[in-house]
Amino acid sequence: MASRDVAFWKEAINDEMDSIMSNQTWELVDLPPGSKPIGCKWVFRRKYHTNGMIQTFKARLVAKGFKQRECIDYFDTYAPVARTTSIRILFALASIHNLFVHQMDVKTAFLNRDLNEEVYMEQPEGFVLLGNENKLCKLVKSLYGLKQAPKQWHEKLDHDILSDGFRHNNVDKCLYSKTCDDYMVIMCLYVDDMLILSDDMKGIIEMKKFLSSTFKMKDLGEVDTILSIKVKRNSEGYALNQTHYIEKVVSKFSHLKIKDANTPFDSSIKLEKNDGRSMAQLEYASAIGSLMYAAQCTRADISFVVSKLSRFISNPSVEHWKAIGRVLGYLKNTKELSLQYSKFPTIIEGYSDASWISSVEDNLSTTGWVFTLGGGAVSWGSKKQTCISHSTMEAEFITLAATGKEAEWLRDLMMDIPFTANNVSTVSIHCDSQATLARAYSGVYNGKSRHISIRHEYVRQLIQNGIISISFVRSSGNLEDPFTKPLTRDLVRITSRGMRLKLLK
């Protein structure tokens, strides 16, 4: 209130209170005996466009949910959100089928559902009614900050969407689809952010009309930014980048004296467990979280190094911080890279690989996989394996089982999307190990690898059921290399281009 933007903040506060009061979120009552009220606070935030300009001033009245008592003030809290993999697949499909993609946002989403529990809250600062200073707010509807608020909101929206003729996707309950005579429409939900896809603008308009009649909505038009991911449409299809997000992260850790780098990880550096004093552990965890979000959304090329550095989060050393600086330098140097999708190919392809005993301390190997659709990467992973493998073949087979599991999920997701339901074929997985390929198609089990017998049987069943097929690819053509080992500058560029992670034309 003492800042030069006070007029904007006052307007934001009044907008928030108008929404709360018009929604009849609470009623003033005396506190019943034996009950304990929770507090509340104002949270102020500036929302920015991807170009760095201020978009809106946002004020939220937030209940102090950390004071709620389980089984008294709340019970269940879980609420699902769409996987980022699902979001990328939708943009790939939008590129392939030339779909319209629009975006809507729910105003004060968490205020839309009645509470089942009795929760009492202090009156908000600045809005204590004269003559009723000792009264408390009995929450009739959910409020931001409450433990159960996300679950209450999702149940409300889910019920209303399903009642309009939509149905869930079998594997991602935050994807809804509806087929009408002259159009098909899909809605993807991430808390209160909604993507609406359709092959006809009529489907988009009808969906917006329905949502606006049920909730207070903000129509954002054609999709521009979702979850800090900038979306651009071009002649080929859709492209996703996080340039603005990366700039914010680099700026946040500018005290590390970040220098531009051509690779995310220096292969000559051997990172080891720190037995000495921890170096800024909380800030290190924050840095890992920031990098992990970029790796999870669009920057598949840093997945391996982020996975490796996250293993030292409990006790980082100076060397680990230098490696963080190297990743940030690489992101700074390549911040304009976009994950691009086009009309072809229209089928999912996978790549699987492993690095045998990549962790010297515990002799565990590294698993990596990547799937592409519409030419661009839609799903990827880089993880340390949980059991010791006795050979390269065993490490590759453990990876193949994990890749097959992801392929099965992707195939099930695609089979329940209207635009692709009848065109989903066997998912082809490329592997650069002839021994693993032979073992996968062999029905003979000699008992020498008992600890991977379940994985062996699982992969064989996937093949027999026509869910996956496995083919050989030379190591030089395996897009999966950056997920299991550090690469040279040229290989980083080649594999990035293979995943369609490149500069926009």
Is it the case that residue 136 has pLDDT exceeding 80?
yes
CA distance 350 to 431: 9
Phi and psi torsions of 174, nearest 5°: -100, 10
For residues 355 and 492, state if they share a domain.
Answer: yes
Give residue 444's pLDDT: 67
Give residue 449's pLDDT: 64
339 found inside a domain: no
169 found inside a domain: yes
39 found inside a domain: yes
Is it the case that residue 150 has pLDDT exceeding 70?
yes
Query: In percent, how much of the chain has pLDDT > 90?
Result: 71
User: For 378-413, how does the pLDDT look when each residue is reduced to its tens digit (9 = 90+)?
Assistant: 999 999 998 888 888 889 999 999 999 999 999 999
Give residue 426's pLDDT: 93
235 found inside a domain: no
143 found inside a domain: yes
CA distance 471 to 482: 20
User: For 235-255, how does the pLDDT look when each residue is reduced to its tens digit (9 = 90+)?
Assistant: 999 999 999 999 999 999 999
For residues 321 and 416, state if they share a domain.
Answer: no
Q: Which domain holds residue 307?
A: 241-333
For residues 319 and 412, state if they share a domain.
Answer: no
* Domain boundary pick from 333, 364, 393: 333
For residues 264 and 379, state if they share a domain.
Answer: no
For residues 287 and 356, state if they share a domain.
Answer: no
Mean pLDDT, residues 92-118 taken together: 89
pLDDT tier, 308 (very low <50, low <70, confident <90, very high otherwise): very high
Q: What is the CA radius of gyration of the chain?
A: 25
68 found inside a domain: yes
CA distance 78 to 503: 39
The residues pairing with 376 across neighbouring beta strands, listed in sequence order, are 373
**Contact in structure between 240 and 298 (CB atoms under 8 Å):** yes
Query: In percent, how much of the chain has pLDDT > 70?
Result: 97
pLDDT tier, 25 (very low <50, low <70, confident <90, very high otherwise): very high
Give residue 297's pLDDT: 97
Give residue 445's pLDDT: 59
Give residue 337's pLDDT: 97
Give residue 476's pLDDT: 83
Better-scored residue on pLDDT, 273 or 102: 102
Amino acid at 326: R
pLDDT tier, 85 (very low <50, low <70, confident <90, very high otherwise): very high
For residues 142 and 193, state if they share a domain.
Answer: yes
For residues 68 and 210, state if they share a domain.
Answer: yes
Give residue 74's pLDDT: 86
In the predicted model, what is the mean pLDDT of the chain?
Answer: 91
Q: Which residues of 313-327 are buried (b: 16+ CB within 10 A; e: fewer)?
A: eeebbeebbebbbbb
Mean pLDDT, residues 19-26 taken together: 90
Give residue 157's pLDDT: 92
Sheet with 217-222, strands from edge to edge, namely 167-168, 175-179, 184-190, 193-198, 100-106, 217-222
For residues 223 and 245, state if they share a domain.
Answer: no
For residues 352 and 483, state if they share a domain.
Answer: yes
Mean pLDDT, residues 288-305 taken together: 97
Look up residue 295 and give its two tokens.
């790796």
421 found inside a domain: yes
Mean pLDDT, residues 303-309 taken together: 96
Q: Which residues are CB-neighbours of 142 under 8 A, at least 6 positions away?
A: 110, 111, 112, 113, 114, 115, 148, 149, 152, 153
* Domain boundary pick from 199, 227, 255: 227
Q: Print the SS3 string covering 209-266.
A: HHHHHHCCEEEEEECCEECCEEEEECCCCEEEECHHHHHHHHHHCHHHCCCCCCCCCC
Question: Per the confidence metrics, is the pTM higher than 0.85?
Answer: yes
CA distance 461 to 379: 22
CA distance 115 to 232: 40
Is it the case that residue 498 has pLDDT exceeding 90?
yes
For residues 365 and 304, state if they share a domain.
Answer: no
236 found inside a domain: no
For residues 12 and 160, state if they share a domain.
Answer: yes
User: For 425-479, how does the pLDDT look when each residue is reduced to its tens digit (9 = 90+)?
Assistant: 899 999 998 988 888 887 665 656 666 788 888 999 999 999 999 999 998 888 9
**Contact in structure between 355 and 74 (CB atoms under 8 Å):** no
User: For 207-228, how does the pLDDT look when each residue is reduced to its tens digit (9 = 90+)?
Assistant: 999 999 998 899 999 999 999 9
For residues 356 and 398, state if they share a domain.
Answer: yes
Q: Which domain CATH number covers 488?
A: 3.30.420.10
What is the number of structural domains in the chain?
3
Question: Which secondary structure element, helix H or strand E, spans residue 462, and what is its range?
Answer: helix 453-464
* Eight-state DSSP code of residue 106: E
